[in-house]
Structures are given as C-alpha cells and as structure tokens.
C-alpha cells in the first residue's frame, strides 16, 4: 500500500505532462482573446518576440493593456522598433511565475532574468527584473530605479510552462531605451551566390519581381530554400520552357513568409504556404517533414532535403536543398513504370482453374477508395499530426489506467 501511495503522484504528473505536450502554447492566440492587450500583442509580433516566446518551454509574459502601451509609446515618440524590442523583452521572464508563486516568494522577493538579458544585448545585469511581494498581497515588478509596476491579475496559466499576467504599467530602463543601430540589410542573392547557390541567385536577380518579393518579406519573417548549383543546372532546360508567370511562381515557391529555425521545421511538420501561394485554394503549398535528423520538403512531384544553413538570424533564415522544388501546378508527377508483361506460359498457368475451385466464383470487390478532394500533401500532414497526437494521448491513457490499478 505504501508503494502504491508513492507511485500515484508520479503517475498523475505523467498524465499532466502528456496533456501539456499535446497542446503547447501560442502567445498571439492567447492575447487575441483579450482585446485590451491588442497593442501589446501587435508589437510582440512586429518585433518577432512572439516567436521566441512560443519556442520556449518555460516563460512568463508581463502583459500591459492598451492605455499602458499608449503611455509607453507617447513617452518615447522616436523609439525604433529595435529599441522597442528591448523594452518589451523586459516583459518576458525566462521562468514560470503563476499568481500563486508570486505570493509565495522565498524571502518575499526574487531577481529573475528576462529575454533582454538572455539575448546578450543587456549590459551587465540590466536585463534582470526584481519581483517583491509587499504587504496586503501587493506584488511589484521593477527593472531599474524607475517606478515599479504592480500585479493586476492572471490572464492565462499553463502550469510550469506559460504564465501570462497583467501588470499596471510598462517596465523600462535606460539600457533598454538606448538607441539601437538597425542591422545591415542582407543581400540575399550575393549571400546565395557565395554559398553554392549561384545559379538560383542569378535566376532571382534576372526574373522580374522575384528578388524584390523576397527582400520585401524579410522584415516580416522569411525562410528561403535555395537549390545547390548541382541541382539547379540540370533543371535549367525545364525552367526555360516555363512562361514568365511560371518562372516567377517557381522561384517564389522556394520561400515561406514566416521565419523558421531548423528546430522549428523539425517540430512543425505539415503543409505550409509559400510566397507563390495567392490565397485561392491550397495552391503552391509544400509539406515539411522530418526524417530522423533531416528535414525534407515534399511536393507532389519532388522531395528535397535541407543540406545546410546559409543564415539563421531572426527574421531571416536561408537553407540549401539538394533538389529543385517542383510544384504540381507547373509539373506533372512522374507516372509509375508499367509492370512488365507476364510470360505466356505463366499467363496460361494463372488462367487455369485450380483443382476444387469453382469457376463461377465471383472476384472479391475492390477495397473502397479513400476520401476524395484532399490533396496528397494534406493527407501526409494529417496522418503525421494524428500519429504525434496519438502518441501523447496513448501515454496519457496508459498513465490513467495505471492510476486506476493503483487505486
């Protein structure tokens, strides 16, 4: 009985872990349910902090409402987006602080690191936030000698993973407000040409609107895939036979309008839009899948593998691939080879009725066809998602069954 009592809490933790893993968190979606934080939510996306928050397993977001954000922006009218990113980074703690934990701080206070500190941009310890539990249940947050901000309420909690709490005013510090030099603009075609993708880079530069479309999407987040020269050169005859619109679509098909690290691509398997997608109906999409430690990009025509990284600096990532991505909108899938005809003697033997078998027996009906109208790439993505979800819930079911047995 004693062993059973000791085992029960561990099984409950396993069950909770399985449920948590199956859902994850998305700060943009969470804050979208609370219109009073719309300005804060907008700037988390604009500064690319939202993606960093979603990638971390343990995080606390100190959200401020629209009037508090308006006061911050009014107090700093010339603040660049890069300096604003530093300020908002002070509002993201790299530890979990739910409402209950805030009122149970050891010694009544805690000094915790933020994304501003973790990024390496903060001088010395300027990226730390002090939390203090005051009398009468008041909790204060301060990042410098400036006035502290008070805890207002808990907005969302996923225990030990994500906590979103509202504070009364925006945090600030002289270090976070300091002017930030904008990073130098990356010359995509020059970068690709230097790193083994000269042929693809040349086509980007020579095709009307292609290079400009890539460049204009960088600030909002861009992941590009450039085929290596040994893959591009044999493909050139096919490329030359395309119309002007077809050439542009094929080049734009090699980029996703979202910033993805390799790790994000490994865990975010599924169908994705590309720069060529015009929003009509699932056109010019591709499927991202991981095969062990490798990431593959699948179309209905080709399967390419990511071979290396040219750059991975938010908001831009460029990866080399071993094949040209051929969309089914421009190319037909290769027909499977026809089976070789059976030898005449084998055919006669197959047609002869076997002893004891009735020649009037009917053949079994064919197996019913699968659902129609769903693209093959989407089927692959759905099956992959179903497998991952099944693993988590199978673990949860096993844990629950074990709890029943112990009880």
The reported pTM is: 0.58
pLDDT, tens only, 276-317? 998 655 689 999 998 778 999 999 999 999 999 999 888 899
User: Domain spanning 22-167 has what CATH number?
Assistant: 2.30.180.10
Query: How far apart are alpha carbons 37 and 34 in whole angstroms?
Result: 6
Q: Pick the closest to residue 209 from 275, 278, 124, 123 (CA basis).
A: 275
Looking at residue 144, its pLDDT comes to 80
Looking at residue 21, its pLDDT comes to 41
Query: Which residue in the block uniquely carries the two structure tokens 């083994």?
Result: 196
Which of the following CATH numbers is that of domain 188-321: 2.30.180.10, 3.30.1330.10, 3.20.20.80, 3.40.50.300?
2.30.180.10
DSSP state of 174: H
Neighbouring CB atoms inside 10 A of 192's CB total 25
Per-residue confidence at 35, pLDDT binned at 50, 70, 90?
very high
Q: Pick the closest to residue 169 from 66, 60, 64, 62 (CA basis).
A: 64
Query: How far apart are alpha carbons 232 and 235 in whole angstroms?
Result: 5
Q: Pick the closest to residue 68 from 152, 179, 163, 155 (CA basis).
A: 152
Helix, strand counts (H, E) of the chain: 18, 14
Domain boundaries, the chain: 22-167, 188-321
Per-residue pLDDT at 406 exceeds 60: no
What is the average pLDDT score of the chain?
Answer: 81
Average pLDDT for residues 49-69, to the nearest whole number? 93
Looking at residue 267, its pLDDT comes to 77
106-140 as b/e, with b when 16 or more CB fall inside 10 Å? eeeebebbbbbbbeebbeeebbbbebbbeeeeebb
Locate 304 and state its tokens.
């390419």
Looking at residue 280, its pLDDT comes to 59
pLDDT, tens only, 193-229? 999 999 999 999 999 999 999 999 998 889 999 999 9
Domains 22-167 and 188-321 share a fold: yes
Locate 160 and state its tokens.
């030990």
Looking at residue 355, its pLDDT comes to 47
């Amino acid at each position: 009985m004693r062993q059973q009592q000791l085992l029960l809490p561990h099984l409950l933790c396993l069950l909770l872990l399985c449920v948590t893993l199956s859902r994850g968190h998305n700060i943009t979606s969470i804050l979208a349910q609370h219109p009073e934080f719309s300005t804060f939510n907008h700037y988390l996306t604009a500064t690319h902090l939202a993606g960093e928050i979603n990638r971390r397993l343990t995080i606390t977001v100190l959200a401020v409402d629209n009037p508090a954000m308006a006061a911050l922006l009014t107090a700093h009218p010339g603040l660049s987006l890069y300096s604003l990113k530093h300020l908002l980074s002070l509002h993201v703690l790299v530890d979990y602080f739910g409402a209950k934990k805030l009122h149970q701080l050891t010694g009544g206070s805690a000094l915790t690191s933020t994304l501003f500190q973790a990024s390496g941009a903060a001088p010395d310890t300027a990226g730390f936030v002090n939390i203090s539990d005051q009398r009468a249940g008041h909790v204060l947050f301060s990042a410098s000698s400036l006035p502290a901000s008070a805890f207002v309420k808990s907005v969302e909690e996923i225990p030990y993973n994500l906590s979103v709490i509202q504070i009364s005013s925006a945090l600030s510090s002289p270090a976070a407000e300091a002017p930030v030099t904008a990073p130098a603009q990356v010359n995509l075609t020059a970068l690709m040409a230097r790193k083994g993708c000269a042929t693809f880079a040349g086509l980007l530069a020579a095709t009307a609107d292609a290079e400009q479309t890539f460049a204009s999407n960088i600030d909002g987040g861009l992941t590009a895939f450039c085929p290596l020269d040994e893959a591009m050169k044999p493909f050139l005859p096919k490329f030359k036979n395309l119309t002007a619109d077809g050439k542009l679509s094929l080049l734009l098909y090699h980029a996703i309008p979202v910033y993805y690290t390799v790790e994000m691509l490994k865990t975010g398997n599924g169908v994705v839009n590309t720069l060529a997608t015009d929003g009509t109906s699932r056109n010019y999409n591709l499927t991202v899948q991981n095969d062990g430690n490798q990431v593959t990009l699948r179309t209905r025509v080709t399967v390419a593998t990511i071979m290396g990284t040219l750059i991975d600096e938010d908001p831009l990532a460029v990866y080399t691939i071993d094949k040209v991505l051929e969309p089914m909108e421009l190319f037909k899938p290769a027909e499977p080879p026809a089976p070789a005809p059976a030898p005449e003697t084998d055919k006669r033997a197959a047609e002869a009725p076997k002893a004891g078998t009735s020649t009037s027996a009917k053949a079994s009906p064919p197996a019913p066809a699968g659902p129609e109208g769903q693209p093959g790439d989407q089927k692959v993505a759905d099956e992959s998602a179903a497998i991952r979800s099944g693993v988590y819930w199978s673990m949860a079911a096993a844990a629950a069954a074990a709890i029943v047995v112990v009880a």
